[in-house]
Structure 1
Amino acid sequence: MPQAAAPPKARTRYAAKREAIMAAATAVFNDRGVSGFTLAAVAKRMDLHPVSLTYYFKRKEDLAAAVLRDTIARYDLMLDEAYLETEPPARLRRFVEAYFEVRRRIALGEAPPLAPFSEISLIEGDQQQPLMEAFRELYVRIGRFAKTPDMPWMTRPRRTALARLIIDQLGWADAWLGSYEPADYPRVAARIADLMLDGIAGRDQPWPDLPVLTLGSPVAQNDEVTRERFLIAATNLINREGYRGASVDKISAQLNVTKGSFYHHNADKDELAAACFERTFDLIDEAKRRAAEAPDGWSRVWLAVCSLILHQASGEAGRMLRHYAMAAAPPASRRRLRLRFQQIAHAFAGQISDGIADGTLRPVDPLLAAQMLMVAFNGANSMDPRHHPGSTDRVMEDYARPVLMGVFIP
């Protein structure tokens, strides 16, 4: 016998409760990352017993995947709006405007939060494949912004790099957008789109013919287990598996050492992770300090950013820790790390202001430009030359050049 349809009021209550669970789950996702996401944490935020959630979502993977699918669907709606335009620059501008309009409504409490994509690959079980397929399709749709006969230089690798850059840039807004009033979000959107479309180089500034800097200390080519090796191994694992996913056991296994050896070199995992961030900050400071010797603002910014991009892309001297690793760090550490990232952004903004003053950089919003540059070099590990034929030349052409000169430039 067919099951009777639920009364309208019951359906409404079910939908409202499910929506409330999704909103709470997204907040937990943002706060704790994939590895710290549990039904118990969502239930605690809602002051419910965890068992009550299983009526709506049987497993935490089901709820986490639902949260991410919802965010992908909301991005698709932004893209639908963008594709009302016919020209690539107009599409990109409208997409950015749509994103910051959603963020404005979230800030005003008129819409639920968006989930971050930074750890989407960590979702396990039978939800992983369809979720990743939906995410890849999102990338393809963004890349199609530039698929036009008028731009033959926008090859598939470059369109993929463009999509990754846009997603990373918008996701990093979580770190700085709270400094702006919601009423200012449309102005922020216009300036972000302007930076993406036209870069920061001043009019007629050539692409510098300078050797990039070699950053950090050379990795010892022997089997000696050092503190530096622990920092590099932990950074790679945290970047790949998240803060909580990079356990002491996994870090030790990466170096083929015992847990006893781990604790001989490190106090604990939290102390090691904090040191990984300090190493990241040291690399950025080194790039800024050494690039300061270049003759003008454009050359200084170019040298610092391109050196950091290639350092992060190659990984040969140990990558920097991705900024999204902050999501699952202890709250006190997270506040300190966010402050440090913003201090770095202000330092880059000062360099950009100097370049505007000497005429080698075009007039842009220095702080927003600095945020964009930080995302570019922090996220450049996706451009690993080992997976991109042409080695570092392709990284510079498909990634660094569009960041600094404008995403659609030939």
Structure 2
Amino acid sequence: MTVATRPPPRARYAARRDAILSAACKVFIDQGVSGFTLAAVAKRMDLHPVSLTYYFKRKEDLAAECMRLTLSRFDAMLEEAEREETAQARLRAFVGAYFETRRGIVLGEAPRLLPFGEITQIGAPGDEELVEAYRALRQRLARLLRPSDAPWLTGPRRYMLAHLIIDQLCWSDTWIAGYEIADFGRVAEKISDVMINGLAAPGRTRPDRPLLDLGAPPAQNDEVTRERFLVAATEIINREGYRGASVDKISAYLNVTKGSFYHHNTDKDELARACFERTFDLIDEAKTRGRSEASGWERLWLISASLTAHQTSGERGRMLRHFALSAMPGELRRSISGRFQQIANAFSGIIADGIADGSIRPADPLLSAHLVMAMFNSVLLLEHWGEDATVETVMSAYVRPALMGFFTPE
């Protein structure tokens, strides 16, 4: 009779630790940094919280280790891509490795990847280890994009494109469930194609159009209005995540009392939904005002470039970043995710129209739409582009390569 042998203690420790990390990653994604606790992880594993402290003494230690795991997996993707000889081949390999990683996640072979939106909120105050590691990741990806024959693609521009690539790939959290695992390879190929070659048809140039001013101009007085609450809540959710944006913090941002908050708003959930509705209204305004452009390419440029300018300047209140969805209550998250999908379908229609009229090169319309949405949603504030940066800087160094191809000459 064969007697089953127990794994050695070190192997059991490693297996349990991996299981804790996998469960913790799910809790982090569902609850955000502010809702992340050892008790929540233990409950997901049907364990007593004290048993987790043998592996991780504090919730901050466990959250940080989850983020290190995500960063190390991106490093592994880069290591695989760095074997290729050209920048274009390296980018294709990196995108392919990312969707191969997503395949393993769907199959249950690996824990989920954490979003980077709340990375500054993890760990002890003043601890810059994870932020520095994330910065190093983007620098490494920027080096991956360094071509041998494109002097205009400078280091700072490549660094901003690295930020864009990571956000475009992480945006897949909102739509990857709509694809079968067998299609992930095709998805990676189609996304790589748009990143490298852009969407403009051969011979098309950047449209010479004034950008649209979207949303209401900022008020010129100190009156506390619903709009000011929406702008303030959006800023704090973008910075600290949904659970980190408390009623107290939103009120303090506007220097008002909690009583004033509840005078203008029902509760935080209602305000968060309204922030997303305001975001959707801005996108709808851009689509409506850009509808009269002569071709699909001109419509796509004007709408998406105007939204990017609005998001980077912040003068009229930014849009909510997509990662704010991760810690929202389930019903609210599903409702907003559905609205994002409707908007993606609308942009897909603009791209399909451009392919039909010959102004946009043949590409997968829906996947291209997701890349465009990530572009304008994720752009950094203008102050992060450098002391002398203007909206035109963002148009030429970010929007143009995103829509016309990363390696397309100026």
Aligned twin of 1:317: 316
2:127 corresponds to which residue? 128
| Secondary structure in structure 2 of the residue aligned to 1:128 | coil
Aligned to 1:341: 340
- Does the CA contact (< 8 Å) of 1:385 and 1:392 recur in 2? no
Residue by residue over 1:97-124, the C-alpha shift from the partner in whole angstroms, topping out at 9 and shown as x without a partner, is 0111111121122222222212111113
Q: How far is 1:223 from its partner?
A: 0.6
SS state at 2:380 partner: helix
Partner amino acid, structure 2, of 1:23? S
> Residue 400 of structure 2 aligns to which amino acid in structure 1?
R
1:235–1:319 contact (8 Å) kept in structure 2: yes
2:172 is aligned to 173
Q: Give 2:83's aligned residue.
A: 84
- Equivalent residues, number: 404
Residue 307 (structure 1) aligned with residue 321 (structure 2): no
Taking the aligned partners of 1:383 and 1:196, their CA distance within structure 2 comes to 23
The residue identity in structure 1 corresponding to 2:317 is G
Question: Partner residue of 1:288?
Answer: 287
Deviation at 1:210, TM superposition (A): 0.3
Separation in 2, partners of 1:346, 1:383: 29
Q: What does 1:5-404 correspond to in 2, within 5 Å?
A: 9-125=8-124, 128-384=127-383, 387-404=386-403
Give the Cα–Cα distance (whole angstroms) in 2 for the partners of residues 126 and 229 of structure 1: 29
> Is the 1:93–1:193 Cα contact (8 Å) retained in structure 2?
yes
| CA distance, structure 1, for counterparts of residue 216 and residue 209 of structure 2 | 21
- Taking the aligned partners of 1:143 and 1:386, their CA distance within structure 2 comes to 15
1:196 corresponds to which letter in structure 2?
M
Residue 127 to residue 222, structure 1, CA distance change in 2 (3 Å):
closer
Q: Aligned AA for 1:182?
A: I
Contact 1:139 1:164 in 2 (8 A): yes
How far is the alpha carbon of 1:140 from its aligned partner?
0.6
Amino acid at match of 2:391: T
Give, in angstroms, the shift of residue 34 of structure 1: 1.4
SS in structure 1 of the partner of residue 235 of structure 2: helix
Deviations 1:205-234 (A, max 9, x none): 011000010001111111111110110011
Whole-angstrom distance in 1 between the partners of 2:262 and 2:243: 18
Describe the superposition over 1:217-259 as per-residue Cα deviations: whole angstroms up to 9, x where unpaired: 1111111111101100110010001111111111111111111
Paired residues of 1:315 and 1:381 also in contact (CA < 8 A): no
CA distance in 2, matches of 1:320, 1:328: 17
Rounded Cα–Cα distance in structure 2 between residues aligned with 1:390 and 1:322:
22
The AA in structure 2 aligned to 1:82 is A
Indicate the RMSD between aligned Cα atoms, in angstroms.
1.4
User: 5+ unaligned residues in a row in structure 1: which ranges?
Assistant: 1-6
Alignment check: 8 A CA contact 2:198 2:402 kept: yes
Deviations 1:18-37 (A, max 9, x none): 00000000111111111211
- Which residue of 1 is the match for residue 3 of structure 2? none
Give per-residue Cα distances to partners, 1:111-158, cap 9 Å, x unaligned.
Answer: 222222121111130783111111111011000023345222122221
Q: Deviations over 1:21-71 (max 9, x none)?
A: 000001111111112111111000000111110100011110011011011
Moved more, 38-47 or 375-384: 375-384
Structure 2 residue ranges without an equivalent (≥5) = 1-5
Q: Distance in 1 between matches of 2:278 and 2:86?
A: 43
**Residues in 1 aligned to 2:403 and 2:385: alpha-carbon distance in whole angstroms:** 23
Conserved? CA contact 1:385–1:391, under 8 Å: no
Cα distance in 2, alignment partners of residues 229 and 386 from structure 1:
26
Q: Secondary structure at the match of 1:381?
A: coil
1:143 is paired with a residue whose SS is: helix
Aligned partners of 1:381 and 1:146: how far apart in 2?
A: 19
The amino acid that maps onto 2:371 is M
